[in-house]
Amino acid sequence: MTILVTGGAGFIGSHLCEYLLNNNQKVIVIDDLSTGSMTNISHLTDHSAFRFYEGSISDESLLACTIEESDMVYHLAASVGVKLVVEKPGFSQIISSLAHFKHTCKKRVILVIYHRKFFWIFRKILG
């Protein structure tokens, strides 16, 4: 299975990528490195089943081509950290980011939203 992880160079995204690779999945990452870091994924870049694109999910052509070759999407790109989300609890940036998927994605998207000390995983099928 090929899995797209948006925000995959962040702390949680990089650990998710490592987990997926350790479970024999192919992983594609899109991250603009605004809050993530290459340091988080440097140990994954030589893995034959790992591919990284520095870019934004608002780049529709990049998003479309990576979604096309993916079986599933873990959407972490708009989740910019527990502290920021707690300080600014509006989830509008997260929900609005789903609009980028709506036109191109007919696959299962797992959206992770963080709030306070807990996180919830919303499974959302866009279509």
Kindly report the pTM of this predicted structure.
0.73
User: Is the pLDDT confidence value at 13 over 50?
Assistant: yes
pLDDT bracket for residue 85 (50, 70, 90): low
42 Cβ contact list (under 8 Å, min separation 6): none
What's the rounded Cα separation, in Å, for the pair 111 and 94?
A: 9
User: Is the pLDDT confidence value at 116 over 50?
Assistant: no
Question: Which CATH code for domain 2-125?
Answer: 3.40.50.720
User: Is the pLDDT confidence value at 76 over 70?
Assistant: yes
Domain boundaries defined on the chain: 2-125
